[in-house]
Amino acid sequence: MSGLADLKLGFIPLTDCAPLVVAKSLGFFAEEGLDVSLSREASWATIRDKVAVGALDGAHMLAPMALAAAAGASGGLTLDVGPSLIAPMALNRNGSAITVSKALAQAMRAADPEAIGEQPASAAALAKVIAQRSGQGAAPLTFAVVFPYSMHNYELRYWLAQAGIDPDKDVRLVVTPPPRMVEQMRAGEIDGFCVGAPWNAVAEREGLGEIVIAASAFWPGGPDKVFGVTQAWAHHYPDELRAALRALIRAAAWADDAAHREDLIALLARPEHVGVAPEALARALSDEIVFHRGGAGVPRREHALWFLSQMVRWGQVSAEVDLEAAADAVYRPDMFRAAALSAGPMLDPNQVFADAPGELAPLYAGPAFDSQRAGPYAAAFSIGRARV
C-alpha cells in the first residue's frame, strides 16, 4: 500500500531497546523506505523463536543468545538445527547492574563493612553472609538473571565466583524476565538480581533494593544487546538489512546525544515501549549506557569470544567447540561497516565506527582476557565447570 518494505521487529521493555524505538518514532526507518512495526515481546525465548521462524524479521537480542546456537549450546530447543542467527550490530554497551534487596544489603554491611564500601564493590561481604547463613542452616539466597545465555548471567556468576562463591552450589540462580524482577524482589522471592536498565533503578526507587555494582564498573564499555536477524533473512534481504542498520545507527547516535536526553526518556517511558517512570530511566542514561560513541555499534569479535568463553566456563558449551568459528559466524562487523559507509552525509563514518576500537578494558578482577586464547582463559578460573 505504502510502497515501503514491511518489517516486523521485536523488543523487550528495556532501556537498550532505544535504537529501535527511536528509529521507528523519529521516522528514521521510514526515511530509509522501511515500514517498520515494533512488537513488544514478553520473553527472550519468544524473541529468539519468532525471529528463527520468520514471525519477526529481526529483534533486540541478548548477544549470547545469538551466539549460543552457533556454539552448539541448546540455544533453541526446537531450532538447534534451524536457522542460524547473526548479529550485524551491537545496540549498546553497559546498562546492566547487580542489585540486592535492602535486607541483604544490610546483612552484607554488617558482615563486612569494608568490603561493601570498596569501589567497585566485590562480593566478599556477600560471601561472609552466605557462610553465616549456611552455618545457621538457612536456605540458600536466591538470585535472578534474565536468561541462561545473557550478559547478566555471566556478569553475576563472574562477580560471585571472584569472591569464592560457587554460583551453582552456594546460591540458587533462577531466571526471571526483566519486568518481573522488581515484583519478585518485593514478594521476597529473590534476594538479588542482575538485569538491564531501568529495572535496577526501579527497584532502588521503590525502596526495595540497592545497586551494588554497575556493568561499567564490572567491565568498562562491556557489551550487552545486539540487533539479531537470521542468516537466511540477511541473505534474502540485503538491501532491507542495510537500510535498517543505517536507520538504527542514526538512531543510536541520536540517543547518545545529551541534547536529546529528555525526549529519549519521554519516548521510552511510554507504556508501549518500556513503560516506567521517567526518573528510573534517567539514571542509566545519564552516565552508564552508551549506544553509539566510541564505536559502540560495532559487534566486536572480542566480545563474542568473551561470551563464548563464559559458556565454556559454565559448562553450557563443550571446550572442544571452535569458539573463533562460532564468533565469526554470528558477529558480523563487516555488515555494520558496510551499512555505516553507505549512509552518506547523514553519518560521519569516522565518528560512526571509530574503526579499530582500541584495546578492551580489563574486567574488574580475575585473569586478563586474551581473545586469541579464549579457551585457555575459560579454564583459568578456579570456580567453573569447563567440560573438556
Partner 1 sequence: MRVLVIDPDPARAALVAEGLAGVHPLEVRRSARFDEREAAEFAPDVVVIAAESPDRDTLESLREASQANPRPVVMFVDRSEPGLAEQAVRAGVAAYVVDGLAPARVRPILDVAMSRFALTQQLRGDLAKVKADLEARKTVERAKGLLMKERGLDEDGAYRLLRKLAMDRGKPIGAVAADLLAFAGVLKGDAS
- Separation CA 67–CA 327 (nearest Å): 7
Per CB under 8 A, the segment of 75-83, 156-164, 301-309, 370-378 that binds partner 1 is: 75-83
Whose CA is closest to 157, among 383, 388, 387?
383
Residue-wise over 163-196: b if at least 16 C-beta within 10 A, else e? bebebeebbebeebbbbbbbebbeeeebbbbbbb
CA 360 to chain centre: 17
Determine if 155 is a binding residue for partner 1 (CB under 8 A): no
Determine if 173 is a binding residue for partner 1 (CB under 8 A): yes
Q: Least distance in Å: CB of 372 to partner 1? A: 29
Closest CB to partner 1 among residues 45, 277: 45
Determine if 148 is a binding residue for partner 1 (CB under 8 A): yes
x/- mask, partner 1, residues 189-228, rule CB under 8 A, reads ----------------------------------------
Size of the site for partner 1 (CB under 8 A): 33
Determine if 176 is a binding residue for partner 1 (CB under 8 A): yes
Per CB under 8 A, the segment of 84-92, 143-151, 209-217, 376-384 that binds partner 1 is: 143-151
- The x, y and z cell numbers of residue 254, run together, are 541520536
Instruction: Identify the bridge partners of residue 99 per DSSP, sorted by sequence position.
Output: 193, 211
- Separation CA 211–CA 227 (nearest Å): 27
x/- mask, partner 1, residues 106-135, rule CB under 8 A, reads ------------------------------
Q: Least distance in Å: CB of 174 to partner 1? A: 7
Determine if 174 is a binding residue for partner 1 (CB under 8 A): yes
Which one of 31, 35, 166, 168 is in contact with partner 1 (CB under 8 A)? 168
Q: Least distance in Å: CB of 80 to partner 1? A: 8
Q: Are 183 and 189 in contact (CB under 8 A)?
A: no
- Separation CA 103–CA 111 (nearest Å): 12
Q: Least distance in Å: CB of 161 to partner 1? A: 16
Assign 81 to helix, strand or coil: coil
Closest CB to partner 1 among residues 80, 239: 80
- Separation CA 40–CA 385 (nearest Å): 35
Determine if 84 is a binding residue for partner 1 (CB under 8 A): no
Determine if 45 is a binding residue for partner 1 (CB under 8 A): yes
Terminal-residue alpha carbon distance, the chain: 56
Q: What are phi and psi of 228, to 5 degrees?
A: -120, 140
Q: Are 85 and 231 in contact (CB under 8 A)?
A: yes
Q: Least distance in Å: CB of 364 to partner 1? A: 25
Determine if 147 is a binding residue for partner 1 (CB under 8 A): yes
DSSP 334: H
Which one of 102, 133, 172, 261 is in contact with partner 1 (CB under 8 A)? 172
The CB-based long-range contact list for 355-360 (8 Å cut-off, 24+ gap) reads 355/295, 355/298, 357/294, 357/295, 357/298, 357/300, 358/294, 360/221, 360/302
CA-CA-CA-CA torsion sign (167, 173, 177, 181): negative
Closest CB to partner 1 among residues 12, 91: 12
Closest CB to partner 1 among residues 314, 377: 314
Which one of 11, 44, 143, 307 is in contact with partner 1 (CB under 8 A)? 44
Q: Least distance in Å: CB of 69 to partner 1? A: 13
Determine if 35 is a binding residue for partner 1 (CB under 8 A): no
Binding site for partner 1 (CB under 8 A): 2, 41-46, 49-50, 52-55, 74, 77-82, 146-148, 168, 172-177, 179-180, 316
